[in-house]
Amino acid sequence: MSIGEYLQNADWKSEKHAPVIECPDMVAADEEFLVSLEIGKEIPHPNTTEHHIEWIEVYFKPESDKFPHLVGKFGFSGHGESIKGANEGPLHTEPKVQVALKVKESGTLMAMSYCNIHGLWESSKDIKVG
């Protein structure tokens, strides 16, 4: 058994669980750029005590390396929990983050997210250094 067997992939425009990676297609070497990560861009994902995104991870795999490098892991902990009951709490976090990167060479950004009901989802985006 491999964890890869459980990674699901779909077009984020038609699937609310697929991570959306937004950043420039072309960047300059060693120059900072922003990467936005979001779940539910076209089709909103519920953010309830019962059904929510727990985290998003993002990796960068340079063309010349064998393995990807972890950029960051972002957790979302506010899902409306409360002693009053489910979804009665004062806090809901949305599964959206931005991170600033610098890369030396072209490669692929890969994002993975986890829904507490629908499991692991992945997506990727190529970045060229020019």
- Summarised one tens digit per residue, pLDDT across range 66-120 is 999 999 999 999 999 999 999 999 999 999 999 999 999 999 999 999 999 999 9
- Of the candidates 5, 46, 23, 40, the one whose C-alpha atom is nearest the C-alpha of residue 102 is 23
Question: Token pair for residue 62?
Answer: 């340079």
pLDDT surpasses 90 at 48: yes
Q: Note the pLDDT of residue 77.
A: 94
CATH number for the domain spanning 50: value is: 2.60.40.730
Q: What is the rounded distance in angstroms from the CA atom of residue 76 to the CA atom of residue 14? A: 23
SS3 for 47-111 is CCCCCCEEEEEEEEEECCCCCCEEEEEEECCCECCCCCCCCCCCCECCCEEEEEECCCCCEEEEE
Range of the domain at 96: 3-129
Percentage of the chain modeled with pLDDT above 90: 86
Q: Note the pLDDT of residue 8.
A: 87
More confident: 67 or 15: 67
Parallel/antiparallel/unpaired status of strands 33-39 and 96-101: antiparallel
pTM for the model stands at: 0.92
Mean pLDDT in the chain? 95
Q: Note the pLDDT of residue 9.
A: 87
Phi, psi of 82 (to 5 degrees): -165, 155
More confident: 5 or 37: 37
Task: Count Cβ atoms below 10 Å from residue 113 Cβ, excluding itself.
Answer: 29
pLDDT surpasses 90 at 14: no
User: Structurally, how many domains does the chain consist of?
Assistant: 1
* Residues assigned a catalytic role: 15-17, 45, 51, 115, 118
